[in-house]
Amino acid sequence: MEKYMLPCLNKKLFGFECPGCGGQRALVMLLKGDFTEAFFMYPAIYPLAILVICVGVNLVYPYKLYSKTASTLTIISITTIVISYIFKQFIA
């Protein structure tokens, strides 16, 4: 699975990481069971995973609070991505 990962074009062309860098590796780590390492690789992996599960459940069993749940998880995911990107680029 790791040999099929896509390279980050932003990093190759411009020399700095994009806000999504680390997402593929974090997903592989999450699937392997390396939960702490997945978080440190890409902190937004958990809100995004919960959002994907929420969308999947809604496709099979639609539920009443889906739009509010999906909106909240989307805001949490975007906020986590932006904060971790700023931290990675300017602080660490």
Predicted pLDDT at 33: 93
66, 58 contact by CB (below 8 A): yes
Q: How far apart are CA 87 and CA 46, in angstroms?
A: 18
Indicate whether 14 pLDDT > 90: no
Q: Is residue 12 part of a domain?
A: no
Q: What is the pTM of this model?
A: 0.83
Q: Is residue 74 part of a domain?
A: yes
Q: How many domains does the chain have?
A: 1
Summarised one tens digit per residue, pLDDT across range 27-85 is: 999 999 999 999 999 999 999 999 999 999 999 999 899 999 999 999 999 999 999 99
Q: Which domain holds residue 38?
A: 17-87
Q: Is residue 58 part of a domain?
A: yes
Residue showing tokens 């971790």: 84
Closest CA to 48 of 68, 65, 23: 23
Q: Is residue 75 part of a domain?
A: yes
Predicted pLDDT at 72: 95
Q: Is residue 30 part of a domain?
A: yes
Q: Is residue 44 part of a domain?
A: yes
